[in-house]
Amino acid sequence: MISLLELRHIIETAFLPTQCVCTIDADNRLMVQLINPVTQVEELTVAGIDPVDLSSSRAIAKFVVEIKEEARLRRDASVRSYRRG
């Protein structure tokens, strides 16, 4: 299995240029925060991620794609609601 330090680095760099902060809690669960590089506003936080589920490059890539898609959907919804208001 990949070390938690390496996993954090892989995840954080996968989201560039968006700032990604990946932390590990006392139960060895990951929390990923995505922060807009321009506004410095937090776009998405995902907590309680079991690193055991990210034990292969394919699993890590799938996780990153899922988080990027969730962030994009939230951004799009925010833009739509702003335009209506």
> pTM for this structure?
0.84
Per the DSSP assignment, residues forming a β-bridge with 42 are: 35
Average of pLDDT values for 63-82? 86
Nearest to 2 by CA among 73, 78, 40, 57: 57
Per residue in 55-75, is it b (16+ CB within 10 Å) or e — as a string? eeeeebeebbeebeeebeeee
The pLDDT tens digits for 19-32 are 999 999 999 999 99
CA distance 69 to 57: 18
CA distance 55 to 57: 7
